[in-house]
Structure 1
Amino acid sequence: MNIIVLNSRGHQSRALRLPRHLPGLLLAVLFVIPAMVGVGAYYAMYHWGDPVLDQRMTARWQDELASQRGALDELNRRTDEELRALTIRLADMQARLMRIDALGERLVDIAGIPSDEFDFSAPAAVGGPELPEERSLAYTAPSFTQALTDLAVTLDRREEQLSILERLMDNRRIAEKAELSGRPIVRGWLSSRFGQRTDPFSGRLTMHRGVDFAAKDGSDVVATGAGVVTFAGQRWGYGNLVEVNHGNGVATRYAHMKEVLVSAGDIVRAGDVIAVVGSTGRSTGPHVHYEVLRNGRQVDPTPYIVRARR
């Protein structure tokens, strides 16, 4: 192989003679030898590397996958159990709420309270302004746990309503028991009414501020309403006297008793025996002088006497 070399002026030239095997040698240097080096390196790494490391890593990964699969199965099982438990709890709370609503509506009907004050069938009225920072919040569906929490709050509200209703009914029962009704004696007759009359001792026209019930000496005198005994003893003109405070500015007096059976501070109910009929004080014979006071002033007891006891 000859190579002709010309100088820059083109007047002189030289011929170089190269060996015939030089092109093949250059081709081998540029392509064959790098290819052989790469194949050898791959072969060396494949055969002389540590295949045990790859097997261990594969086995470890498989164990981790199996462990994660088992944990996921256990989580699914526990989730199903908790969901069943929550479902049972929800059903129980709903049943309780239905019973409470039915009982509340029945009590409201019995008590005669307006239904718009304690409407157990209507949802609770709630509200409130929307805060500006809450308008940008993304909507999130209520969770099952939140539904249970809301139902528990409703149950608490219903129980509070029933508690208030119970207190109202208790107050009403107390008021009914304290309400005056009937006569202060078991047997006897009305011997003198409330109002103007001729005084049996002076003969002058005077104001009689109570009613008199003639009865057998030693018979029972009963309270006409529930209350607290505020006086039990002797008082001029009344003889042996019992005074009972019934609340709300109402009081009763029972005078001319032969014997007093209660003491100041005692709590009496309607119909309780508080004294014995006699003729002490300014009296002409065995009887009960009965007064009703409202805010400290005597009023006519007749409307309370004729009122039918509930």
Structure 2
Amino acid sequence: MQILITTSVLSRPRVVQFTPWRLALALLALTLPLMVVSLLLYHALLLKAAHEHWPIISEAVRFVERQELAQRDRYMRENLDAMAVKVGEMQARMMRLEAVSERVAGMAGLKPDELKKIEAETGAAAGGPLVSLAEANRDERRTSNQLLQDLNTQMDSLQGLGDRHGDVLTLIESHLFEKRLDALMVPSIAPVDGPVGSGFGFRADPFTHRAALHTGLDFPAEPGTPILAAAGGVVLSAEPHPQYGLLVELDHGNGLVTRYAHTSKMLVKPGDLVKRGQAIAAVGNTGRSTGPHLHFEVLVEGVQQNPARFLNAALAAPAAPTSQKSNARGVN
């Protein structure tokens, strides 16, 4: 297609020729700006209509929003159903574990009254069955956020119950070793000269403030105070630990190991032979600790025992670690 353009009788006419491709590009160049402007106007119109509550458009916008919210709510409820089933299975396992713990506790010589005392000290609380959570999920009046909050509460409760069972089982295992401990008793000395700040047993963790099993004896002392080997043995390890800080471990044979944690300086190395009363480290505040002290542990076959059983009869160990008050405390 050709278009002749003339400006006067004497001037030469100009010829503009349009091919199909040129026509298509010209139409596209005109159409795109019109589409963009139309979309912007449409979007602005919808926002204005929704904001000012125009009769028809605002109802349509709210309908679309309700549909999207309902779809998201259905999706969340379906996922919450699946999660509630999993949490219900976990709760059933916890109940079986609690029954096993009670049976093993009886075999270990722990009386039911002692277990009830532990529950009272740890503040363990049992929740209701998780079937109620599934029923609540079918209640259309409850929002997904409320159901998710209930599920998180159940998960936190189960986690706390699991931690308590783990500590109780450790204590039960400790009682099962009592007869063997009688044969492994050796004359020993306190690794640090001074009173015990926190004893073996359940207490409030100094960092989380939750009840936890304290697996040794704490001896508050000035930094640099010599730490003595409680018994003769071989240095099993002498290295930093993320929880215990600078840690020294002595192997006394027959599965008996002692630990000396949170030290400021180690005076021995792995493989060294040490005598009873020999200085092996110095008191410090390394690792997860709130003040300078020695955290002393005794392990039999890898299970923490009450170190007071291995120390001289003159050492008075605290019966209830939660009643002991000291500024120097460790996590262990």
TM-score range, shorter chain: 0.3 to 0.5
Bigger CA radius of gyration = 1
TM-score (norm 2): 0.38
